Structure 1
Amino acid sequence: MILIVLSTLLILSGVLAGCSSSSVPTDNNEKVTINVWGMGEEAKSLPKIAEEFKNQNPNIDVKVQAIPWDQAHDKLLTAVASKSGPDVVQMGTTWIPEFAFANALMDLKPYMNQYPEFNENNFYPGSVETAKYEDKVVGVPWYIDTRVLYYRTDLLKQVGYNEAPKTWDELKDAAKKLSQRGNNKYGISIDTKEQSLAFMFARQNGSKLFDENNKPLFNQKEFVGAVEYLNGFFKDGSAPIDLGIDIVQAFRGDGILPMFISGPWMVKIINDQAPELKGKWSTAVLPAKENNMSVLGGSNLSVFQYTKNKDAALKFVAFMSKPETQLKWMEMTNSLPAAKEAWNDKALQDDPLYKTFGQQMENARSMPVIKQFEEIAQTFLSSFEKIYRGGADVQKEMDEFNKKAEGILK
């Protein structure tokens, strides 16, 4: 099915390449309407911030459509096939390779001088990487997320840690000691459905994931060592396999799970759902092995190749890329800004829980920008389950996974 879809997109790419974008002037009194597609719950706030753009650009009307994430991919494929859809679209960072491969996203390189907001120096290097495909710039970072360590400061102090664990060895030691507090107590949550987790730890262990010829390195010692490390939390009882309760509920009270790795959205959730924990928990950058590389996610804004309103679409993306706009967006949705300058804002600098994410962003990278990576990552989850649940040999399972990845890449 994936090969069929990609083949279809390849055919379409030739069609799209032949369609010149007839840009409608926005400097005269002629009214222009651009269609913007946003994804998920936060997109419901887009019309409000679009009003500010319209106040500054009275000749440009903005029509926003909020699309659920679970419907967005298919809807985008349909838009590419029909060559009728949005002028501006929110792109999940892992979707960029697929749609850029089909030449469905406009290359923004020719407009860098005209729109200084697109300058890659405005953003963290890892975030810039998510918006590139081959030699093209096919998006601008909009909002970001990365993973950090959440931990109960009070409970870690009880087992001898006045600060968050800073190394793999310390994380392992702290988790083991926390799990020895009594029955049904654990040290850390290892999310077995988080497809980027093992790849993130593998990078921390020195793995490049792929060699210079794009061949997978998943059966090499760096990757295998990371999988063994993660599996070790299940083997020694520091992490549960199937706990069956919400992470916030497990985090509060006696702290069934006093440590977990997650993104910035959890700050507000904990503050809202567990206010009694104020002063008893914090966030920290990830513990390090060779490095403490985290995964970088979030969303970019792209201009569709076949837009008939190129100038207006580019103006809207430039507006959304401004630090002040991204800070307003953060106030509305709690989405963290991609623009580095925005991180100097008092609201982020004075909140240690959020400041951690800015610090971690200095050492965060997206998952590999190859169109097959989503399938490879899903295949890994199946392989990992055989290890932590079935007790399969890690090296043998990673040998098999590496062969499957090679097949997916062909």
Structure 2
Amino acid sequence: MRRHTRRKVLATTGAATAFSLAGCIGGDNDGPTTIETRYMDAPGAEEYFEEHAEIFEEETGIHVEFEFVGWGEAQETLLSDITSQTGPDVQEIASTWIPEQADAGGWMDLESDEVVDHIPDTGMFEEGAMDVATFQGDIVGIPWFWGPRAWQQIDEEVEDGGVDGHPDDWDDLVDQAQAYDGDNHYFALMGSDFEPMRNFAMFLWQSGGQLLTDDYSEPAFHNEEGVQALEFYADLYQEYDVMPSETVEWAAADINGAFAGRQMASTVDALGTVGAYEDEDGQSLDDLSISAPPVGPDGDGGTFFGMELLGIHPWTDEPEAAAQWIDYLLRAEPNAEISSTIGFLPTNPDGFDTEYFDHDLYEAFNEDVFPVAQTYPQVLGWGEIEGELNRAVAEVIQNAVTGDLEEGDVEDVLDDAAEVAHQTL
């Protein structure tokens, strides 16, 4: 873990979903300090904040108000706030939004004298979380909750299909899928929205490749390792017949329902599928097992993680109150409760000692999967690159499913996406 010299600071991951918090606006001089907060809408979030805002006010005298916004309008709303220098003073940050928003002056440096003594000690966070939270030397967010994508399987279904254990590498995955003799599908991945890009990134890291060069100056995803990764991804449909064709249209609700309904025996996903499975009557976490995904042909491991952070806007009138609210939310119990409610894992490691994560399965996520989890580079222009690469990968996978993918197509598509990335960078 990285430890910073200052006593208290915060930072942070992907996937990716749930809700957004915003912070403090100066209160009435005749009443308590008031901070306004905004969150991404999610089931259970309003009840959580009602409870904890009341506890926080009893402790500190600081009144917290909150509102919710859907993911569809969240980024546009936040950009409007940053442009006008108005709106809530503390907000949840999606990790992939950080570079553009920080470059536009949207986030306070959390090591500044105004707040550094009132936010959580960043020494508790994993180094990967702090890497995401740091942009051009400034800590702009506090890691709040996150989720790596793990190999997950329903052990009984796998065993009934004549397969033993988890696949160690790509060859094992193909061999087990082809040997599987169950009544359902052996394995599936989500294929809609931005999932093609995330799946490709996972296979790229497993093949020993990287998205950009070490100095972030040039694309690297179109190199030999990238071609190998995307060809393997496509071959899971076209050559090996591992994944059902309908999964190219699957979003989170589809894969959660399929896994919970035992329509497939295994997947690589975050905590959403686990929660969906447990919510089904008569099913238990004891039915499942978790591990890092299969490694690539050269023994490299890798998987994608998403993370959400909390940041303070620099125009706040109440930076200390904003920082205190974030510090409260990062205590073990509140952090574990909101992470469990949203379907992620807590960034405070003490959250794993609470009732919300009292199962060996969660420790497997934490101990076996996080060490090989990576996320996207913190670089200006990444949003445009991600969008272009997601479009390119989705095109390849769709052509693989329809039988229209020809030799050389993968190289051509990745080269075209790399040209866009080069111009963007």
**Which TM-score bucket, shorter chain as reference?**
0.7 to 0.9
Residue 384 of structure 1: aligned partner: 393
1:252 Cα deviation from its structure 2 partner: 5.5
Change beyond 3 A, Cα 1:307–1:151: same
SS, match of residue 62 in structure 1: strand
Residue 289 of structure 2: aligned partner: 282
Q: Counterpart amino acid of 1:366?
A: T
SS, match of residue 196 in structure 1: helix
Change beyond 3 A, Cα 1:190–1:25: closer
Change beyond 3 A, Cα 1:145–1:48: same
Q: Does 1:343 align with 2:352?
A: yes
Residue 118 of structure 2: aligned partner: 115
Q: 2:338 aligns with which of 311, 317, 329?
A: 329
Trace 1:143-222 onto structure 2 (pairs within 5 A): 143-158=145-160, 161-178=163-180, 185-193=184-192, 194=195, 195-211=197-213, 212-222=215-225
Residue 250 of structure 1: aligned partner: 258
Q: Does 1:36 align with 2:52?
A: no
Deviation per residue, 1:168-203 (Å, 9 max, x gap)? 22222222223x657xx5332132220322112211
Change beyond 3 A, Cα 1:372–1:398: same
TM-score (norm 2): 0.81
SS, match of residue 295 in structure 2: coil
TM-score (norm 1): 0.84
Trace 1:221-240 onto structure 2 (pairs within 5 A): 221-235=224-238, 236-240=240-244
Change beyond 3 A, Cα 1:150–1:23: closer
SS, match of residue 268 in structure 2: strand
Aligned equivalents of 2:122, 2:70: Cα separation in 1: 29
5+ long unaligned stretches in structure 2? 1-23, 400-404
SS, match of residue 110 in structure 1: coil
Residue 87 of structure 1: aligned partner: 89
SS, match of residue 191 in structure 1: coil
Change beyond 3 A, Cα 1:322–1:353: same
SS, match of residue 298 in structure 1: strand
Q: Is contact 2:41-2:69 (8 Å) kept?
A: yes
Q: Counterpart amino acid of 2:246?
A: D
Q: Does 1:374 align with 2:376?
A: no
Aligned equivalents of 2:326, 2:31: Cα separation in 1: 20
SS, match of residue 362 in structure 1: helix
Aligned equivalents of 2:273, 2:229: Cα separation in 1: 25
Q: Counterpart amino acid of 2:361?
A: L
SS, match of residue 313 in structure 1: helix
Q: Counterpart amino acid of 1:399?
A: D
1:25 Cα deviation from its structure 2 partner: 10
SS, match of residue 129 in structure 2: helix
Residue 314 of structure 1: aligned partner: 323
1:256 Cα deviation from its structure 2 partner: 4.1
Residue 6 of structure 2: aligned partner: none
Residue 363 of structure 1: aligned partner: 372
Aligned equivalents of 2:351, 2:260: Cα separation in 1: 32
Deviates more, 1:39-48 or 1:209-218: 39-48
5+ long unaligned stretches in structure 1? 1-21
Deviates more, 1:371-380 or 1:47-56: 371-380
Aligned equivalents of 2:227, 2:424: Cα separation in 1: 20
Q: Is contact 2:255-2:273 (8 Å) kept?
A: no
Deviation per residue, 1:204-243 (Å, 9 max, x gap)? 2211221125200121111111111111110121112225
Q: Is contact 1:148-1:262 (8 Å) kept?
A: yes
Residue 52 of structure 2: aligned partner: 49
Q: Counterpart amino acid of 1:396?
A: D
SS, match of residue 206 in structure 1: coil
Residue 106 of structure 1: aligned partner: 108
Q: Counterpart amino acid of 1:188?
A: F
Identity of aligned residues (%): 23
Aligned equivalents of 1:220, 1:47: Cα separation in 2: 50
Q: Is contact 1:124-1:339 (8 Å) kept?
A: no
Q: Is contact 2:27-2:34 (8 Å) kept?
A: no
Q: Counterpart amino acid of 1:362?
A: P
SS, match of residue 89 in structure 1: strand
Deviation per residue, 1:356-396 (Å, 9 max, x gap)? 22121233222111232222222223222332332042222
Q: Give the alignment's Cα RMSD to 1 decimal.
A: 2.7
1:161 Cα deviation from its structure 2 partner: 3.9
